[in-house]
Amino acid sequence: MHVTSFRLSSRVCDSCMLYKGAFSIVRRCVKKSTGQEYAAKIINTKKLSARDHQKLEREARICRLLKHPNIVRLHDSISEEGFHYLVFDLVTGGELFEDIVAREYYSEADASHCINQILESISHIHQHDIVHRDLKPENLLLASKMKGAAVKLADFGLAIEVQGDQQAWFGFAGTPGYLSPEVLRKDPYGKPVDMWACGVILYILLVGYPPFWDEDQHKLYQQIKAGAYDFPSPEWDTVTPEAKNLINQMLTINPAKRITADQALKHPWVCQRSTVASMMHRQETVECLRKFNARRKLKGAILTTMLVSRNFSGELYSDTSDARDSNYIRPIRAQTGPSAPLRSSPALFWCAHMHLFCMFVIMEYISISWHFPCCAPIIPSLHGKVSPASPQEAQTTVVHNPADGTKVSRSSHSRKQEIIKMTEQLIEAINNGDFEAYTRICDPGLTSFEPEALGNLVEGMDFHKFYFENLLSKNSKPVHTTILNPHVHLIGEDAACIAYIRLTQYIDSQGRPRSCQSEETRVWHRRDAKWLNVHFHCSGAPAAPLQ
């Protein structure tokens, strides 16, 4: 079938553009003979390396083999000079996990129905000697927005062809939280890796958070290799023993003893769900899953930041690994253009690549509550008590919203406390009109988006100096600032991003007490063992002292 048998919209618009990446776009297309709509992935092959060409051919070859109602089907693969077209099913229902949180009712039986369809897709690909290697929520889609729409497995970009049940080393591939112990040990592996990932997904479907979690990736991998997970109270108390039994069989460390897809389909919790799985509505699971989804989006936003951060710090990385996450960057997905050394100043570097990320963090931060005890492992928070304030610090209060049972490494906790402390000191310098202290904490090329600049990007200290000299230093009225729920993301060893709500109390010109609020994100970079603020984004009203 030639590409002309499909009609691609000639105009680029929101309705026809489904996805845009570095070297490919996905657009709606229509088969002329039937009027049927499909999704066409259009790859610019001129920009691909020889290795990427091989990966593309492998993906197309694998997808041609797979024809199952629970798999996004490839209908055509067309090569032309400079471009390659992959024509897939048009799936319009979005991610399964996003659909679940929008439901009015969600039970263990619903989770069983979901996992049944996922197992059907895994069984089909394993029968064809294909291993997906990247099973995760992002790749579980719904055929449509209709109630009861089929779950479809997507994205075979990391899939490989194997010889039956033979095990071999096919490279380090996958997404960290879903990697199996054998992959982390760099042992030979095969089809069982998909069943391990399925066990992680099932665990999340039942309680809304993953079985393995640590901000320190090394510790996360240690947990996985040891199979160190449990079923904590109270959220697991209402889950049936049969569901826990299936998870245990999926998350078996020894791949030879791990349950297969065909065996799992015969498990009572799956094939007899109407009598075995609980029908009780799981509201806490839905709430936790909503926050889990928000975190996944946030980690996606960090991808580009991690890429740029590594280039900026001079660390070299190669695409010898196919792992996908904020800690594993695949240039074909993450880059927005050809890679080139970064020679700009730290401030310009952060400005160019962080301002959209900062906006995203703020929007996520103010739209959800980060405090959810039932899923504490998801969002590590800072639950140490704030030390007594010195006289200079008396005007700033930090209010944490701790999550009990959170696991945070001491080094991560210490660095997060450093970032919060530096943010407190910076705000105190603003409140006190101390420009000298402010300049010691900020990079000379500080960039910012703030209400006072009317939405314009500001670089350097002159803009801020004007306010210090003409307003802040002359403000003798008391000002008290409260930093609400600071949330810190560590980006490598020498960079961090903090998001928080800044509540300011002050006395207006009439002597009346007032308060105002702003949502802020600050990016910190450590140079010569000293943290400097290199970029910040402030939304909402201008801070009280500037009014």
Q: Where do you find CATH 3.30.200.20 in the chain?
A: 2-89
- pLDDT, tens only, 477-518: 677 888 888 889 888 888 899 998 888 887 777 878 888 788
- Nearest alpha-carbon partner for 537 in 525, 523, 521: 521
Alpha carbon distance 306, 312 (integer Å):
10
Catalytic residue numbers, as ranges: 134
Coil, strand or helix at 271: helix
Coil, strand or helix at 123: helix
The residue ranking higher by pLDDT, 309 or 39, is 39
Does 303 score more than 60 pLDDT?
A: no
Q: Which helix (H) or strand (E) holds 217?
A: helix 217-226
Alpha carbon distance 208, 375 (integer Å):
7
Alpha carbon distance 6, 547 (integer Å):
59
Alpha carbon distance 81, 163 (integer Å):
34
Q: How confident is the model at residue 475 (pLDDT cuts 50, 70, 90)?
A: low
- DSSP letter for each residue of 346-411: HHHHHHHHHHHHHHHHHHHHHHS----GGGTTTS----SPPPPPPGGGTTEEEE----TT----HH
Residue listed under structure tokens 């490989």 = 160
Q: Which helix (H) or strand (E) holds 82?
A: none
- Whether CATH 3.40.50.300 fits 2-89: no
Q: How confident is the model at residue 390 (pLDDT cuts 50, 70, 90)?
A: very low
Alpha carbon distance 187, 181 (integer Å):
9
Q: Do residues 498 and 425 lie in contact, with contact meaning Cβ atoms separated by under 8 Å?
A: no
Alpha carbon distance 524, 347 (integer Å):
10
Q: Say how many Å lie between the first and final Cα of the chain, rounded.
A: 66
Q: Do residues 435 and 468 lie in contact, with contact meaning Cβ atoms separated by under 8 Å?
A: yes
Alpha carbon distance 272, 171 (integer Å):
38
Q: Which helix (H) or strand (E) holds 86?
A: strand 83-89
The residue ranking higher by pLDDT, 316 or 300, is 300
- DSSP letter for each residue of 3-45: GGGEEE-SS--TTTEEEE-SSEEEEEEEETTT--EEEEEEEEG
Q: Where do you find CATH 3.10.450.50 in the chain?
A: 413-546
Q: Do residues 182 and 258 lie in contact, with contact meaning Cβ atoms separated by under 8 Å?
A: no
How much of the chain exceeds pLDDT 70, in percent? 72
Sign of the alpha-carbon dihedral angle for 264, 267, 272, 278: negative
Q: Do residues 533 and 448 lie in contact, with contact meaning Cβ atoms separated by under 8 Å?
A: no
Which tokens go with 130? Answer: 């294909």
Alpha carbon distance 421, 412 (integer Å):
14
Q: Do residues 497 and 491 lie in contact, with contact meaning Cβ atoms separated by under 8 Å?
A: yes
Return the CATH architecture of domain 413-546.
Roll (3.10)
Does 396 score more than 50 pLDDT?
A: no
Sign of the alpha-carbon dihedral angle for 331, 333, 339, 342: negative
Q: Where do you find CATH 1.10.510.10 in the chain?
A: 94-162+175-303
Does 410 score more than 80 pLDDT?
A: no
pTM above 0.75, yes or no: no
Largest CA distance in the chain: 81
- pLDDT, tens only, 16-50: 666 665 567 888 888 888 888 999 989 888 878 88
Does 123 score more than 70 pLDDT?
A: yes
Which tokens go with 222? Answer: 């240690």
Coil, strand or helix at 208: coil
Query: For residue 239, what are the contacts with CB-CB under 8 A and spacing of at least 6?
Result: 108, 206, 207, 231, 278
Alpha carbon distance 368, 519 (integer Å):
13
Residue listed under structure tokens 């900026």 = 312
DSSP for residue 47: G
Coil, strand or helix at 125: helix
Residue listed under structure tokens 């064809």 = 128
What is the pLDDT of the chain when averaged over all its residues?
78
Least confident of 290-299, 399-408, 509-518: 399-408
Q: Could you say which of 1.10.3720.10, 3.30.70.380, 1.20.140.10, 1.10.510.10 is the CATH number of the domain covering 94-162+175-303?
A: 1.10.510.10
DSSP for residue 284: H
